[in-house]
Amino acid sequence: MEYQWNWGVFLLPSAVNDGTYLDWMIAGLQTTLLLSLSAWVIALLLGAVVGVLRTVPHRGLSGVATAYVEMFRNIPLLVQLFFWYFVLPELLPAAAGDAFKALNPIAQQFVAAMVCLGFFTSARVAEQVRSGINALPRGQKNAGLALGLTLPQTYRHVMLPMAFRLVVPPLTSEFLNVFKNSAVCSTIGLLELAAQGRQLVDYTAQPYESFVAVTVAYLMINVVVMLLMRKVEVLVRVPGYLGGK
Amino acid sequence: MFGSYEFDWSSIPVSLGFLGQGLMVSLEITALAIVAGIVWGTLLAMARLSSIKPLAWAAAAYVNLFRAIPLVMVLLWFFLIVPKFLESFLGLPPGSDVRLASAMIGFALFESAYYAEIIRAGIQSVPKGQLAAAHALGMSYPQAMLHVVLPQAFRNMVPLLLTQAIILFQDTSLVYVSALADFFGAAYKVGDRDGRLVELVLFAGAVYFVLCFAASQAVRHYQKRLQTA
């Protein structure tokens, strides 16, 4: 039996009459982008804090930060996702758990996926921030302290402005990973790009077209993010450092 | 701090056999994918560094393609699409189920793209003079690679290869999308059957954590020893 290619399938009205199959794909792409970008914001904020804490000369604080990183790095993303989606709402105090379950199912999936991806990625961001801070010449911290700045002031005005700029190039691959990892969230029923592709296979009997379209969409996200980050890298690079002017 | 949830861990002890089988499946997939990934990854890395341009381009395209696509997509391709293609292309008898084998191959092909990058960096870390010296001794290119360059490259790469193996072990949980009964799939099944998903997900997370944390500490220890040696 010869396979009948039909790229026009995307323009057909969908089986449940809510637009075309192309609209499904676009909706999936939007969910993937929104999910990944909001998770990335969480990851940058948490990752910056945890990464800084890992470098401070205080056993308790750096211990907590280390435990945080090890925890999120040594449990598979899928297990973490099921934790946020199925387990945590049961364990929260009744009021909070009920508030979560009162959300509509799509919002529940999205919130769980966003928080999960955000925390998962933050541990990786924290490691990059830590190595950025550790890559600074030791004299910078000492000079700050010698000038009479307190340790927090030294971090705020001397070390972090440099470290955050050094950390941008290695963060590119983590940024790319957020988009790829977001595909895991299809397992809890979130209708992002991969899930829409799978749904189209069931509805249209045109599996090749649907999967090729989804794959190309991921490749395009990849290319756009890389071009964008290249621009950002040029903006923030530090003269005198490798890759600098 | 917890809500009114009442834990009941009793499903776990009675299911240990089933969960253990799942863990064995996960470890088998891990071992297979590591071996296939290193062999295929080495060939890809050598192709990428080859002076034959089309070969280098093809290898680069392969590696970049697989590294740009989510693993979930790759597994779905090899679980849903490739078997259909094989059936019509090879004219397999109806009823032959190649889906699991296909998903396994997809997993190995995906992971080998990541191994290829590690191995390429490892090969490039060997000083050029080593290859020149091997040639000067009369070795052919394959001999020089096999006996001189690769052994040194692999020794430099061991910590990275092991770290990648830990990531790969975590990645195996995603074969969940292909209905293969790995450790997480088994834990999910038990939790779903007994209405004890909370306990089983926590248990699975704890097992993964203990295994991966212990392995990564061992790698770190080994790395320190390498540096001081």
Please indicate whether, in this complex, the C-beta atoms of B197 and A86 are within 8 angstroms of each other.
yes
| Amino acid at site B58 | A
Q: What's the distance, CA A151 to chain centroid? A: 31
The reply to whether B32 falls in a domain is yes
Phi, psi for residue A13 in degrees, rounded to 5: -65, 140
Name the residue facing B3 among A77, A91, A219 (closest C-beta).
A91
Please report which confidence band the pLDDT of residue B38 belongs to, taking 50, 70 and 90 as the band edges.
very high
Enumerate the residues of chain A whose CB falls inside 8 A of the CB of residue B198: 86-87, 90-91
Q: Do A184 and B69 touch (CB under 8 A)?
A: no
- Give the distance from residue A95's alpha carbon to the nearest chain B alpha carbon, in angstroms: 9
Q: CB-based contacts of B92: which residues, under 8 Å, 6+ apart?
A: B86, B98
- What pLDDT is attached to residue B181? 83
Q: What is the mean pLDDT of residues B187-207?
A: 95
Stated length of chain A: 245
Q: Is B213 within the bounds of a domain?
A: no
Task: Say which CATH topology domain A17-236 has.
Answer: MetI-like fold (1.10.3720)
What's A37's DSSP letter? H
Inter-chain contact B72–A184, Cβ cutoff 8 Å? yes
Task: Please give, rounded to a whole number of angstroms, the shortest distance from the CA of A83 to a CA of chain B.
Answer: 6
Residue A159 and residue A51: Cα distance in Å, rounded? 13
Residue B94: inside a domain:
yes
- Mapped onto helix, strand or coil, the DSSP state of residue A192 is coil
Q: Please tell me the distance in Å from A61's CA to the nearest CA on chain B.
A: 20
Query: A5 — contact with chain B (CB < 8 Å)?
Result: no
Listed by number, the residues of chain A in 68-107 with a beta carbon closer than 8 Å to a beta carbon of chain B are 70-71, 73-80, 82-83, 86-87, 90-94, 96-97
pLDDT value of position A205? 81
A182 touches chain B (CB under 8 A): yes
Long-range contact pairs involving A186-190 (C-beta distance under 8 Å, separation at least 24): A186/B72, A186/B177, A187/A78, A187/A81, A187/B72, A187/B176, A187/B177, A188/A81, A188/A82, A188/A85, A188/A109, A188/A112, A188/A113, A189/A105, A189/A109, A190/A31, A190/A35, A190/A106, A190/A109, A190/A110, A190/A113
Backbone angles phi, psi at B96, to 5 degrees: -75, 125
Beta strand spans in chain A (E): none
Q: Please give the Cα distance from A2 to A8 (Å, whole number).
A: 18
pLDDT value of position A242:
60
Q: Does A180 contact B188 at a Cβ distance shorter than 8 Å?
A: no
Given a cut of 70, is residue B229 above it in pLDDT? no
Task: Give the chain A residue whose CA is nearest to the CA of B65.
Answer: A219
pLDDT given at position A114: 98
Q: What is the pLDDT of residue A97?
A: 86
Q: What is the pLDDT of residues B137-179, one digit of tens each?
A: 999 999 999 999 999 999 889 999 999 999 999 999 999 888 7
Cβ of B69 within 8 Å of Cβ of A92? The answer is no
Nearest CA in chain A to B178: A187
Average pLDDT for residues A106-121, to the nearest whole number? 97
Q: Which residues of A touch B176 (CB under 8 A)?
A: 78, 187
Q: Is residue B187 part of a domain?
A: no
Domain boundary assignment for chain A: 17-236
Q: Which carries the bigger pLDDT value, residue A172 or residue B98?
A: A172
Are the beta carbons of A97 and B3 separated by less than 8 Å?
yes
Residue A30: band (very low, low, confident or very high) from pLDDT cuts 50, 70, 90:
very high
Residue B101 has pLDDT above 50, yes or no: yes
Give the rounded percent of residues in chain A with a pLDDT score beyond 90: 76
Q: What is the mean pLDDT of residues B74-89?
A: 87
- Structural domain count of chain B: 1
CATH number at residue B116: 1.10.3720.10
In a domain, B138, yes or no: yes
Among B73, B77, B171, the strongest candidate for a mutation testing the A interface, having the largest count of A CBs within 10 A, is B73
User: Is B26 among the domain residues?
Assistant: yes
What distance in Å separates the CA atoms of residue B218 and residue A158, rounded to the nearest whole number?
36
* Cβ–Cβ gap B173/A222 under 8 Å: no
Mean pLDDT of chain A, nearest integer: 92
**ipTM of the complex model:** 0.91
Write down the pLDDT at residue B94. Answer: 65
From CA A79, how far away is CA A85, in angstroms rounded? 10
Q: What is the pLDDT of residue A13?
A: 86
pTM (2 decimals)?
A: 0.92
Maximum Cα–Cα distance across chain B: 76
Taking contacts as CB-CB distances below 8 angstroms, the residues of chain B near A96 are 3
Task: Tell me if A183 sits within 8 A of A193, measured CB to CB.
Answer: yes
What is the distance in angstroms between the Cα of B71 and the nearest Cα belonging to chain A?
Answer: 8
B213 exposed, middle or buried (CB, 10 Å; 0-12, 13-18, 19+)?
middle
Domain interval for residue B62: 21-179
Phi/psi zone of residue A92: left (φ > 0), alpha (ψ -120 to 50 degrees), beta?
beta
Which band of pLDDT confidence, cut at 50, 70 and 90, is reported for residue A245?
Answer: very low
